[in-house]
Amino acid sequence: MKRRAFFGTGGRGLIGVALAHLGLSSCKKKEQPPAPSSSSSTAAPLSEQASAEEISRKDLVKKLLQEKMGKTETEATAMLAEFEQNLPLAEQACICKTCPTYTSVETEEAFCQALVGQSKVITQEKGCDCPKCPVYKSDGLKNGYYCTRKSEIEQEAAKLV
Tell me the C-alpha distance between 84 and 114, whole Å.
Answer: 9
pTM exceeding the 0.75 threshold for the entire prediction: no
Show Cβ contacts of residue 90 under 8 Å, excluding neighbours closer than 6 positions. 110, 112, 113, 135, 139
Torsion, CA 106, CA 153, CA 83, CA 56, rounded to 10: 70
Query: What does the pLDDT profile of the chain (161 residues) look like in tens digits?
Result: 454 444 444 444 544 444 454 455 444 444 444 444 444 444 445 445 555 555 688 888 999 899 888 999 999 999 999 999 999 999 999 999 999 999 999 999 999 999 999 999 999 999 999 999 999 999 999 999 999 999 999 998 888 86
